[in-house]
Structure 1
Amino acid sequence: MFNKKKKEEEAVVENQATEETKENNSTENTENEATVNEAAEELSAEDKLKQEVAELNDKYLRLFAEFDNFKRRTQKERVELLQTAGKDVVVSLLPVLDDFERALKATENTTEVAPVREGIVLVQTKLKSILNQKGLKEIESINTEFNTDLHEAITQIPSPTEEQKGKVIDELEKGYTLNDKVVRFAKVVVGA
């Protein structure tokens, strides 16, 4: 009986030890799992950061390449535009060139000056009309105040009347504006 009791006590102690071991193991497992989870979270956070950096770097490289392509494309377009900038004007002037050739052919067989002059006036009118359509305008100079923004004084002469002092008396070469910007100053004689 004594052995039986002792065995029962040992069994109870063993059960308690087993339960304590299980509890300790359970606590240790929970702690280990928490540590593993924390480490996994740290690794996953680090991986997330690395992935985010890689994505941002990729976006940056793509944007840089796109901008570089844009610069090349606009530079190429600019060069092409400069090469063909006058195409529109030249094409519109071709009929005037044809008219001059016809006028030259007509002068070979004619002895009268009046019809030739009339033809040249028509060609000049056509040329002026085309240039006006493109934005070219003559600068009116004679009997206007001398303006350094529009005129270039070649010389000064004594003015015939008092009211012509400081005004343009004669025009040696016409001035022109293209879309309200001076492309050639009028060469003029100013009254002093």
Structure 2
Amino acid sequence: MDQKTNEMTEQNAADINNTAFSADINTDENIAGVNHLNEQIAEESELEKLKEALEEEKKKYLYLMAEFDNFRRRTAKERVEQMQTAGKEVIVSLLEVLDDADRAEAELAKAGGVDEGVKLVFHKLRSSLQNRGLKLMETKGQDFDADKHEAITEIPAATDALKGKVIDEIEKGYLLNDKIIRFAKVVVGK
């Protein structure tokens, strides 16, 4: 019986060793699995951080592109406005010459006729200014508008229909590319 007990004891010891070895292997496998999971979690975490950084950079890029587009539109609009009003000072200074030409033409007509050469020069002056965007403001018979007209005086209106309307024009008003460069000086009916 001693031998049987010995064999059983050896068998039990072997089983215990196998179980312990198996537990060691399982523990190592578990540790390796946990390490692998930790690595996956770390990779996923790093991937999430990279995705967030990419999204942030995309937002910055879109914001920068929108700002640049706004800048481009604004400068293009300013450039067009500058080109339209590039000669504004020169045209404004020529308005007095145009007024003098109108008065001279009216006086020549009263005196017995306007020479064709003089008419041609006055017409050329007007057409050159019109080609640059100058327009004459229509005022007579229009409702008085303080945004367009400068009232010099008020006179009693002949009819009720003329009340609040422009009766006479003292100095012509002009627009340059649809912007007022000189207000019309007018007489208003009251």
The answer, yes or no, to whether TM exceeds 0.5 is yes
In 1, the alpha carbon distance for the partners of 2:154 and 2:19 equals 122
Pick closer, same or farther for the CA change 1:121–1:56 going to 2, 3 Å: closer
DSSP-derived class of the 1:19 partner = helix
Pick closer, same or farther for the CA change 1:25–1:54 going to 2, 3 Å: same
Is 1:117 paired with 2:118?
yes
Is 1:130 paired with 2:128?
no
Q: Deviations over 1:16-68 (max 9, x none)?
A: 12321233223323432332233223322332233234323443454455456
| 2:49 match | 50
Q: Structure 1 length as normaliser, TM-score?
A: 0.59
DSSP-derived class of the 2:84 partner = coil
Alignment of 1:39-118 (within 5 A): 39-63=38-62, 65-66=64-65, 69-70=68-69, 73=72, 77=76, 80-86=79-85, 114-118=115-119
Q: Work out whether residues 139 and 176 of structure 1, in 8 Å CA contact, stay in contact via their aligned partners in 2.
A: no
Structure 2 unaligned spans of 5+: 92-113
Which structure has more relative contact order (CA 8 Å, sep 6+)? It is 2
DSSP-derived class of the 1:139 partner = coil
Q: Which amino acid aligns with 2:124?
A: V
DSSP-derived class of the 1:152 partner = strand
DSSP-derived class of the 2:186 partner = strand
Which moved further from structure 2: 36-45 or 175-184?
175-184
DSSP-derived class of the 1:169 partner = strand
Q: 2:152 aligns with which of 151, 154, 157?
A: 154
Q: Which amino acid aligns with 2:153?
A: T
Q: Deviations over 1:87-143 (max 9, x none)?
A: 6x89xx9xxxxxxxxxxxxxxxxxxx6233332343255346536xx47343131x4
| 1:172 match | 170
DSSP-derived class of the 1:84 partner = helix
Pick closer, same or farther for the CA change 1:66–1:147 going to 2, 3 Å: closer
Pick closer, same or farther for the CA change 1:86–1:22 going to 2, 3 Å: same
How far apart are residue 152 of structure 1 and its match?
Answer: 1.8
In 2, the alpha carbon distance for the partners of 1:145 and 1:59 equals 56
Pick closer, same or farther for the CA change 1:176–1:69 going to 2, 3 Å: closer
The alignment of Structure 1 onto Structure 2 pairs a total of residues equal to 166
Pick closer, same or farther for the CA change 1:154–1:40 going to 2, 3 Å: same
Is 1:187 paired with 2:188?
no
Q: Work out whether residues 139 and 150 of structure 1, in 8 Å CA contact, stay in contact via their aligned partners in 2.
A: no
Q: Which amino acid aligns with 1:115?
A: E
CA RMSD of aligned residues (A): 4.0
DSSP-derived class of the 1:172 partner = strand
Pick closer, same or farther for the CA change 1:61–1:13 going to 2, 3 Å: same
Q: Work out whether residues 150 and 186 of structure 2, in 8 Å CA contact, stay in contact via their aligned partners in 1.
A: yes
